[in-house]
Amino acid sequence: MTTAEQPAPSPVARLFDAVADDYDRTGIDFFGPIADGLLDGLGVRAGDACADLGCGRGAVTVGLAERALPAGRVVGIDISDRMLEHARTLLAEHGDGVELRLGDASDPDLESGAWDVVASSLVLFFLPDPLAALTRWVGLLAPGGRIGIATFGDQDPVWSAVDAEFGPWLPPAMRDPRTTGPDSPFATDAGMEDLMARAGAGDVRTTSARVDVRFGDAAGWERFSRATGQRAMWASLPENEIDGVRARAAAHLEGARDADGRVVVWQDVRYTWGTAPPAQ
């Protein structure tokens, strides 16, 4: 018996395989509140067929399962096999009602026109063609279906200054999509709404929420950043620059201490909503 050779993992898959064991496990509450906002806005009902695209360790997937099962169906897709291993552990109690698949969120292997809910949290800006991906996602919706996408909005200036310390060494593909030019759809509410509308969704709108990110101190920030997609920023640094970037970042973070002396910064989250296009 022979086994077909598998294609080499993409850089994004390798990145998230590398961070999977620590992702959302640093004691800093960040991905959970973002997932909760997405779930609340989607209005998931018992019996819904739900797809979570780029599901990671399952922060959104588990919320879909709690709301839609046992009468419904939940599928999570992610490009990282290691992330899916953790998601399977988290979702084991939900049994056969949840299916987790290794796959590319850009073009998920799912039935078109069959899903009541399509959700994706902090994924779209990693994809090479966001409009093509979003068009595919909208096409998954059943009549009356809802889609919700979480991306980043404005950011605490202190955190922006910290991230800027990595700037001289970042390749173009790793730069923040909110700041790569006025044409980036991720820069504004209007940009994301236009992208959703061009993808074919109806009833497009935006809401936002602010998440307070309690790093505690500079060491907490570094643990968090190395356990997320920002690990790639650290990997971009020459060895002889790491200590300098760390020290300058710590100096910026001193300006974000609260009354109790803890480093706390904020991040706005943009939720872009749509519905299945009207029947022609």
In a domain, 226, yes or no: no
Please count the residues of the chain: 280
In a domain, 69, yes or no: yes
Closest by Cα among 131, 126, 147 to 54: 126
In a domain, 222, yes or no: no
In a domain, 114, yes or no: yes
pLDDT, tens only, 22-47: 888 889 999 999 999 999 999 999 99
pTM of the model: 0.91
Q: Which range of residues forms the domain containing residue 67? A: 11-155+181-213+268-275
In a domain, 234, yes or no: no
**To 10 degrees, what angle do helices 130-139 and 189-198 make?**
60
pLDDT, tens only, 143-191: 999 999 999 999 999 999 999 999 999 876 565 655 555 578 999 999 9
pLDDT, tens only, 211-257: 999 999 999 999 999 999 888 899 999 999 999 999 999 999 999 99
In a domain, 4, yes or no: no
Contact predicate 18/226, CB 8 Å:
no
In a domain, 25, yes or no: yes
SS3 73: strand
Question: Lowest-confidence range among 20-24, 54-58, 109-113, 260-264?
Answer: 20-24
Number of domains in the chain: 1
Q: How confident is the model at residue 110 (pLDDT cuts 50, 70, 90)?
A: very high
Percent of the chain topping pLDDT 90: 80
In a domain, 145, yes or no: yes
Kindly tell me if the per-residue pLDDT of 65 is higher than 80: yes
CATH number, domain containing residue 142: 3.40.50.150
Kindly tell me if the per-residue pLDDT of 4 is higher than 60: no
Determine the Cα–Cα distance for residues 263 and 257; give it in Å rounded to an integer: 4
